[in-house]
Amino acid sequence: MAEMHEIDYQIFGSEMQYVEIELDPQEAAVAEAGGMMYMEDGIALETVFGDGSQQKSGFLGALMGAGKRLLTGESLFMTIFMNQGSGKRKVAFAAPYPGKIVPLHLADMGGQIICQKDSFLCAAKGVSVGIAFQKKLGVGLFGGEGFIMQKLEGDGYAFVHAGGTLMERTLAPGELIRVDTGCLVALQPSVSYDIEYVGKIKSALFGGEGLFFATLRGPGKVWLQSLPLSRLANRIYAAMPATGGSREEGSVLGGLGNILGGDR
């Protein structure tokens, strides 16, 4: 088990949230590059290979940890924010788009959580941010997240981001729910994750839900998001004038309204 730094935190905001972490002297938090919102005087930042949890394992350990991050499409580097002052100091990290920041105390989750590749935001120093391979071929090919997800290990706090509205649900043993693959944020390792064919070609082609569902079977806790980033990006892209979309979706005049309004 990693040596975790004990941190205090507070989450602010409703739709565009940020998490403010309070650090005692020599305590530190680790975050993805570009997530920092602000930090108080006395906090020093250092860019490290991987997540910084392998520093005691030497250069090769750090290199291995950083290399695993490449498989998830993340940067080789993360940033450590350490309080080098004599009193408490604060550092804050902002959500990348509308949604909720989810605090996960890993000790309460059995020491491990599996999450989407881009959902991790920040954590107490000592959290190991690794990879979780999907062993089932169907899950890897059609699961939307591919063969590789992120695995957070430790006994302290980690923070992940969910787009839109967050849903938390604890599945009873054998209880099953079907979800859109993009709506999955995180799950406990005790939850079985598989892919199921919709079964009706008409529904698959014209129903807008795709050919496959992700099936989650308990026991364990799952976290779902109502607005996956891919869905948000598709809607924005489709509404762009360059792709034939219109900013005046409620107008019966459509593109003609833009011309009359002097937008073109």
- pLDDT in 10s for each residue of the chain, 264 residues: 445 667 899 999 998 999 999 999 999 999 987 889 999 999 999 887 666 665 555 555 555 555 555 555 566 678 899 999 889 999 999 999 999 999 999 999 889 999 987 889 999 988 888 877 665 655 555 555 555 788 899 989 999 999 999 999 999 999 999 988 889 999 999 999 887 776 666 665 665 556 678 889 999 999 999 998 888 888 888 888 776 665 555 444 555 545 444 444
Give alpha helix (H) positions in the chain: 58-71, 137-142, 201-206, 229-239, 255-260
> pLDDT tens digits for 47-74?
876 666 655 555 555 555 555 555 555 6
For residues 11 and 17, the answer to whether their CB atoms sit within 8 Å is yes
Report the candidate in 69, 109, 134 with the shortest Cα–Cα distance to residue 223: 109
Name the 3-class secondary structure at 14. Answer: coil
Q: In degrees rounded to 5, what are phi and psi of residue 96?
A: -80, -20
For residues 27 and 83, the answer to whether their CB atoms sit within 8 Å is yes
Q: In degrees rounded to 5, what are phi and psi of residue 55?
A: -60, -30
- Residue by residue, DSSP assigns 176-230 as EEEE-GGGEEEE-TTSEEEEEE---HHHHHHSSS-SEEEEEESSEEEEEESS-HH
Mean pLDDT for the chain overall: 79
Indicate the residue type of 47: T
Prediction pTM value: 0.78
Signed CA dihedral, 33, 35, 37, 41: sign only: negative
Signed CA dihedral, 107, 98, 167, 199: sign only: negative
CA distances from 48 to 27, 157, 194, 201 (A): 16, 20, 35, 49
For residues 95 and 160, the answer to whether their CB atoms sit within 8 Å is no
